[in-house]
Structure 1
Amino acid sequence: MIEDKNILDDKKYNKLIIALSIIIPIVVAILFGVRIPNVEPLSFLPPIYASINGLTAVILVFAFFAIKNKKLVLHENLMTTAIWCSVLFLVMYVAYHMTSDSTKFGGEGAIRYVYYFILITHIVLSVIVIPFVLITYVRAITNNIEKHKKIAKITFPLWLYVAVTGVIVYVMISPYYI
């Protein structure tokens, strides 16, 4: 009976999860191409949003250990904070790119291939992780814990990879900022 209620609770969020999983990447892609004229470039943002990515990674690791130690409230608070950090990152990232030209990576040789591999996997997985995070969160808030655990085992490494590689991409490209 409780399992049936959890499934019903999950299902009422499905349309919202699908909508957000489609809308967020599309809006980001559109805004990425928009330039706000006569606005000072927000060139101070990249180290801030890279730091937020790093903070997100740290929070995710602490949340992982919190749940392993059965500290449910701490885990919940950390995961909510990680989501808000990701939202804050995204807002800053879009704001920067709406006021500044993209920076070209200037490295040569093998490091160039390493950079582009990390960048491309980071971008692709940052889109893929959106529905995973949302589904994982919904399963937690609807108390569908068994299904939450199953998807969290996939979501955690994906999200952690995106957060860590965001920092790596920034560190690798930062010498080329104008």
Structure 2
Amino acid sequence: MSKEVQEKKYKRIITILSVVIPLAVAALFGIKLDVEPLSFLPPIYATINGITAVLLIFAVIAIKKGNRKTHERLNTLAIICSVLFLVMYVAYHMTSDSTTYGGEGIIKYVYYFILITHILLSIVVIPFVLLTLMRAKLEEFPKHKKIAKITFPLWLYVAVTGVIVYLMISPYYV
């Protein structure tokens, strides 16, 4: 299969996933399962977000040292962590009521700013991650490097702010 055909196939998949994932998550938020709440999940998925951030940082260090295989493995693990996070996050929200942030004053606005930017950028980062991965898989490394310079800070921000949001709201869990 030619590179052009592969790229077209990848881009179709990326477009579908970039639309379907956020829509599926939004739809699943509207479903409440009548089961025991999975209230133990938030610290686990927050930890996974933290691990994702660390993996991303080490992946950049690896590639700067010229270790492409380690870079690839670390990024693959970061993608796996992000998928695990998403599955646990949705499972938690399908079984538990949302927690309201209880802080007051300026910290409340800081919390909501971080939360809103985290949510919006978690949607935006999906096609960036997938396009960056596609460029690597197609061995288009100059294009991969160019988009990775955008993807890395976005993805890192989403991972780190996921932890911050958890730390800020955790005192208010029932």
Instruction: Give the TM-score normalised by structure 2.
Output: 0.98
Confirm or deny that 1:72 pairs with 2:68.
Answer: yes
Q: CA deviation at 1:142?
A: 1.0
Percentage of identical aligned residues: 69
Alpha-carbon displacement from aligned partner over 1:59-93 (angstroms, at most 9, x marks no partner): 00000000000000000000000000000000000
RMSD over equivalenced CA pairs, Å:
0.8
The count of aligned residue pairs is 173
Residue 36 of structure 1: aligned partner: 33
Match of 2:93 among 86, 90, 97: 97
Q: CA deviation at 1:7?
A: 4.3
Q: CA deviation at 1:8?
A: 4.1
Residue 24 of structure 2: aligned partner: 27
C-alpha distance in 2, partners of 1:83/1:159? 10
Confirm or deny that 1:55 pairs with 2:51.
Answer: yes
Instruction: Give the TM-score normalised by structure 1.
Output: 0.95
Confirm or deny that 1:14 pairs with 2:11.
Answer: yes
Give 5+ residue unaligned stretches, structure 2: none
What's the secondary structure of 1:40's corresponding residue?
coil
Q: CA deviation at 1:6?
A: 4.0
Confirm or deny that 1:108 pairs with 2:96.
Answer: no
What's the secondary structure of 2:76's corresponding residue?
helix
Q: CA deviation at 1:9?
A: 2.8
C-alpha distance in 1, partners of 2:63/2:74? 10
What's the secondary structure of 1:108's corresponding residue?
coil
